[in-house]
Amino acid sequence: MKNKKVLLRGFDKASQPLAEQTLTRAGYTLASTLTTAEVVVVGPLGFDTDALGPDPKKAVLIWENLRKNLESPTTGAQQDLPRRPVIERGNSSIRIVGIDVPLSGATGGQVPPAERFHRICLDAPFLNAARAVALGAAQGLPTSLEGVTAAAKTTVVLWVAHLLNQPVARLNLNGQSDVTELIGRYVPAGQGDEDWNLPALARLGHLLKPECLAIIQQALSENRSLDWAESTLIQAHTGLTRSRWRFQEGIVPQAMRKGGWVLLDEMNLAEPQILERLNPVLECPPSLLLTEGDGAWLGQGGIPVHPGFRVFAAMNPSDYAGRSNLSPAFKDRFLNWFQAQPPGEAEYRSQLQFLIHGQHPEVIINRCIYQGDRSEPVHGELASVEGIDGWIDGLASCQASLSIGVAGKRDGILFTRRSLNALLDLWVARIRESGPSAARTALGASLKDLYWNRIANTADRNASMGVAEAAGLPVEDAP
Ligand SMILES: Nc1ncnc2c1ncn2[C@@H]1O[C@H](COP(=O)(O)OP(=O)(O)OP(=O)(O)O)[C@@H](O)[C@H]1O
Ligand SMILES: [Mg+2]
Q: Is residue 78 part of a domain?
A: no
Whether residue 314 is found in the same domain as residue 172:
yes
C-alpha span between 146 and 267 (Å, rounded):
10
Q: Which residues contact 2 (CB under 8 A, 6 or more apart)?
A: 26, 27, 28
Q: Is residue 102 part of a domain?
A: yes
The CB of 119 under 6 Å from ligand 1? The reply is yes
pLDDT of 313 above 60: yes
Whether residue 125 is found in the same domain as residue 150:
yes
Whether residue 204 is found in the same domain as residue 295:
no
pLDDT of 478 above 60: no
pLDDT band at 407 (very low <50, low <70, confident <90, very high): very low
Pick 219 or 21 by higher pLDDT.
219
Q: Is residue 262 part of a domain?
A: yes
C-alpha span between 8 and 133 (Å, rounded):
36
* β-pair partners for 40: 7, 60
Residue 443: count of CB within 10 angstroms of its CB: 26
Last residue in a domain, options 23, 42, 71: 71
Q: Is residue 165 part of a domain?
A: yes
Q: Residue 46 is part of a domain; what is its CATH number?
A: 3.40.50
Residue 304: cis peptide before it, omega within 30 degrees of 0: no
What residue's CA is closest to ligand 1, atom 4?
120
Residues 378, 450 contacting (CB under 8 angstroms): no
Residue-level pLDDT at 13:
78
Whether residue 136 is found in the same domain as residue 277:
yes
Q: Which residues contact 389 (CB under 8 A, 6 or more apart)?
A: none
C-alpha span between 353 and 476 (Å, rounded):
24
What separation in angstroms does the CA of 299 have from each of 41, 85, 318, 437?
57, 37, 32, 65
Task: Report the atom number in ligand 1 closest to the C-alpha of 155.
Answer: 18
What letter would DSSP give residue 56?
T
pLDDT of 64 above 70: yes
pLDDT band at 115 (very low <50, low <70, confident <90, very high): very high
Task: Report the atom number in ligand 1 closest to the C-alpha of 117.
Answer: 31
Residue-level pLDDT at 131:
98
- How much of the chain exceeds pLDDT 70, in percent? 91
pLDDT band at 285 (very low <50, low <70, confident <90, very high): very high
Q: Which residues contact 455 (CB under 8 A, 6 or more apart)?
A: 407, 411, 414, 461, 464, 478
pLDDT band at 447 (very low <50, low <70, confident <90, very high): very high
Q: Is residue 351 part of a domain?
A: no
C-alpha span between 132 and 14 (Å, rounded):
32
Whether residue 211 is found in the same domain as residue 97:
no
Whether residue 151 is found in the same domain as residue 63:
no
The CB of 120 under 6 Å from ligand 1? The reply is yes
The CB of 22 under 6 Å from ligand 1? The reply is no
What letter would DSSP give residue 304?
P
pLDDT of 381 above 70: yes
What separation in angstroms does the CA of 242 have from each of 2, 13, 193, 206, 284?
71, 71, 9, 19, 37
pLDDT of 314 above 80: yes
The CB of 159 under 6 Å from ligand 1? The reply is no
97, with CB counted inside 10 A (0-12, 13-18, 19+), is buried
Residue-level pLDDT at 139:
97
C-alpha span between 225 and 234 (Å, rounded):
13
C-alpha span between 421 and 117 (Å, rounded):
13
Q: Which residues contact 210 (CB under 8 A, 6 or more apart)?
A: none
Q: Is residue 105 part of a domain?
A: yes
pLDDT of 11 above 90: no
Whether residue 9 is found in the same domain as residue 156:
no
Residue-level pLDDT at 362:
94
pLDDT of 76 above 70: no
Residue 473: count of CB within 10 angstroms of its CB: 22
Whether residue 154 is found in the same domain as residue 198:
no
Q: What is the mean pLDDT of residues 111-140?
A: 97
Last residue in a domain, options 316, 339, 362: 339
Residue-level pLDDT at 408:
46
Q: Is residue 16 part of a domain?
A: yes
pLDDT band at 96 (very low <50, low <70, confident <90, very high): very high
What separation in angstroms does the CA of 391 have from each of 68, 362, 435, 443?
17, 21, 17, 9
Distance of CA 425 to the CA centre of its chain: 22
C-alpha span between 403 and 451 (Å, rounded):
11
- In DSSP notation, 155-174 reads HHHHHHHHHHT--EEEEE--
Which structural domain range is residue 300 located in?
83-181+252-339
Q: Could you tell me the maximum CA-CA distance found in the chain, to the nearest angstrom?
A: 101
Whether residue 95 is found in the same domain as residue 229:
no
Q: What is the mean pLDDT of residues 325-350?
A: 93
What letter would DSSP give residue 108?
S
Whether residue 63 is found in the same domain as residue 101:
no
Q: Is residue 362 part of a domain?
A: no
Helix axes 153-164, 124-139, angle to 10 degrees: 60
Sign of CA dihedral 172, 338, 29, 396: negative
Domain count, the chain: 4
Q: What is the mean pLDDT of the chain?
A: 88
Whether residue 426 is found in the same domain as residue 311:
no
Whether residue 140 is found in the same domain as residue 271:
yes
* β-pair partners for 247: 186
Residues 260, 252 contacting (CB under 8 angstroms): no
Residues 112, 280 contacting (CB under 8 angstroms): no
The CB of 128 under 6 Å from ligand 1? The reply is no
pLDDT band at 341 (very low <50, low <70, confident <90, very high): very high
Q: Residue 270 is part of a domain; what is its CATH number?
A: 3.40.50.300
Q: What is the mean pLDDT of residues 37-45?
A: 83
Compute the CA torsion angle 382, 384, 387, 388 (nearest 10 deg).
30
The CB of 146 under 6 Å from ligand 1? The reply is no
Lowest-confidence segment of 4-18, 39-53, 109-123, 217-231 by average pLDDT:
39-53
pTM above 0.85, yes or no: no
Pick 86 or 5 by higher pLDDT.
86
What residue's CA is closest to ligand 1, atom 16?
152
What separation in angstroms does the CA of 414 have from each of 12, 147, 344, 451?
20, 15, 14, 9
Q: What is the mean pLDDT of residues 139-145?
A: 97
Q: Which of 158, 418, 419, 450 to mutate to test the pocket of ligand 1 (most atoms within 8 A of CB)?
A: 418
Q: What is the mean pLDDT of residues 324-350?
A: 93
Residue-level pLDDT at 78:
67
Residue-level pLDDT at 155:
98
What is the residue type of 211? E
Lowest-confidence segment of 195-204, 351-360, 386-395, 425-434 by average pLDDT:
195-204
pLDDT of 106 above 90: no
444 Cα: distance to centroid of ligand 2 (angstroms): 30
Pick 374 or 191 by higher pLDDT.
374
